[in-house]
A and B are shown apart, each in its own frame.
Chain A
């Protein structure tokens, strides 16, 4: 055994006391620490203030780059942080940092668009951006609701970003007609808004423009409000001369739209409501299409005959009721079964369902169904003329008898077709014949004959011995009558009467000469003749009959039997005068005069403003005739009666005038009866 030392307690391993770490650290470390704290502080602050990141997609982000500011009410509230693409690369995606103080308001109602310089007829807009470059503008309301971070930018700046400042509606028209973006909206000549965002509709058949009407003027709008285009200027050349209408210089340059509410009872207009934009104020007032009928059902008519005088805007009547208008005219070339091509006139019409008797909100399908059923029953489209002189062509949808069975072609493009019928026959000879037939049918000849017959019988009575025993007072009357007759003879009364009638005729024919397009008038004249027949001409004849009856009555009185010879002679003379009148062709002349008057009336009805003049002219003629007759002796029976007759005639002329006016106001009523 080796000696082992006693295992005594081991010595502890000790080390020098470690100085605490803080005492080993030099004070100098405060410097980097301070720098770190400050730097991190600044970094934290800028991180905390950096704002919310949102993404906005744009189709076109010309001029946008990192750092482009986002502005709200022209104050910068953020900036573009990244410019990238959407995953499908079709759009530019902008990452935008929005300042914290506005970030909560950037929500569902937020809109974003790019502001760029725009050069237009009105000048340069957003001039500032020429200098500053494109910037992003946003608008959102002051009510936070449903925060979002993904937005789609508007392609164009909105009309007015703030919806509380007015009403935005949509106007639709066939063509822009000189309107440009930014054109003013006028109400009684005052600018109350402007147009923007002029664009084609989806199928390119018309244009759409947004209209912003500023508050409080937006209260003027109702669903009955009608808008019309006041762009450019209009030159009107009519009987009152040449007139030039320019609403304002601004509208001349950039176009414009005016509106007014012609009928009451409309509802409140909401944002994005759609209105029809009429071509002119007249059209707006008179159009059969309501403001909200922006896209009425349309149909195609194919005519084999040349269509002259028909134009876009021409009226369409359905069974006499104005129910639409022509919207397009074109030539359609088709090929028939033998391979020969032929041209047809293609007329596109638009129809207003409510004028057809359908519900106002009927859609195209319902309207088409209705028309289709009517076509089966013989409804055809044809070209007709209206107006007494104008030769205004319209499209008439009416039941035409004896037509081959046809159906609507519902599959035709672009619109269903309605079968057509040839236009109504309207040739000159036919019309003229009709007119003269009617005038010949007037009871003037009969009237004259009966007058002569009566006078014959008066003669017979006068030759009777008994008439010589006429009372004293009657003798005086007869003396007067004799002197009247003498006067008549002396002054060539017959000739004068004839001359007077000639005057009337000349006047009428001169009126006729003034009027062009007699040919076109005749169709109307035919109808007018019908009216003439209804006029109180018969009454005149009756009146004369009454006079003669009165004379007869006088002669048949017991005392009359004793009429002196002188009276007999007088009566004979009277009869001779009348005979002379007849021989001078008075009846014919009258016929002609009536025809002339009729034409004159037609021309009167066409040119309403010429009406007073014409009526006056006729009046003058009558007055002349009256004056002529009155020269033959005041108070004489004949004279009085003749004057009465002439007064009647004058009243008749006034009636003609009234009728003519009525015709002018409403030809339909004239054609169909009052």
Chain B
């Protein structure tokens, strides 16, 4: 944020008795349910929408469990199968003294997804609280979650590329494990969860 703007007490669309389209920004009278310009559904700024956030959040969390329990990659080297879970892969790297890579894997595949869950849950809990301070850090947090949420799909693509590429017959071949699907679903649900989060709530206490 280039210039910091202190809490500006300004008129929001809701305050003005209007409803703003979150897709195109057009404002409509309070009673409108659909944006006439872009056709998107108009959402009121209220905690009601957080139910969807929680629902996707929970689905994402549920799928995150098998994503960690089942192997992500099955490596077949000279006939010996090696199944790597996400955590197992990181630990393996750690054991082989590849601390740097292990750390990267640990951060990217474990900390960030877990951080996302925590961040979304935190925001979903905090937005209703009148005593919260500062919209900017929270919006930043949400934007980071939204941004990283997509990039978590990297793991899935890496599995896909490795599986497609490392097909050297008996010498080495890599196959995707069931965790790849769980992980992809988990990422997708987390993305949906973050998308469902109405950032306008950050700026506005809910008063029901």
Contacts and interface: CB of A to CB of B under 8 A. Distances in A.
B168 interface: yes
B29 interface: no
* A contact face: mostly helix, strand, loop, or mixed: helix
Contacts of A235: none
Interface string B159-177: 0000000001111000000
A131 interface: yes
Contacts of A131: 168-171
A133 interface: yes
Interface in A109-159: 130-133
Nearest to B169: A133
Contacts of B169: 131-133
Nearest to B78: A131
Contacts of B171: 131-132
Interface residues of B, number: 4
Nearest to B171: A131
Nearest to A132: B169
A128 B62 CA distance: 46
A133 B171 CA distance: 10
A326 B168 CA distance: 57
Contacts, number: 10
A556 B168 CA distance: 118
A130 B78 CA distance: 10
A132 B173 CA distance: 11
Contacts of A130: 170
A413 B168 CA distance: 57
A422 B30 CA distance: 128
A132 B167 CA distance: 10
B1 to A, nearest CB: 31
A410 to B, nearest CB: 60
Contacts of A133: 169-170
Most buried by A among B168, B169, B171: B169
A132 B169 CA distance: 6
A232 B168 CA distance: 41
A133 B168 CA distance: 9
Interface in A229-269: none
A447 to B, nearest CB: 95
A131 B170 CA distance: 5
A131 B169 CA distance: 6
Nearest to A117: B170
A132 B168 CA distance: 7
Nearest to A130: B170
A131 B168 CA distance: 7
A66 to B, nearest CB: 13
Nearest to A134: B169
A76 to B, nearest CB: 15
Contacts of B170: 130-131, 133
Contacts of B168: 131-132
Interface string B165-194: 000111100000000000000000000000
Contacts of A132: 168-169, 171
B122 to A, nearest CB: 43
A131 B171 CA distance: 6
Interface string B128-170: 0000000000000000000000000000000000000000111
A130 B171 CA distance: 9
A132 B170 CA distance: 7
A144 B183 CA distance: 57
10 contacts: A130-B170, A131-B168, A131-B169, A131-B170, A131-B171, A132-B168, A132-B169, A132-B171, A133-B169, A133-B170
Interface of A: 130-133
Interface of B: 168-171
Given A132-B169, A133-B170, 8 more contacts: A130-B170, A131-B168, A131-B169, A131-B170, A131-B171, A132-B168, A132-B171, A133-B169
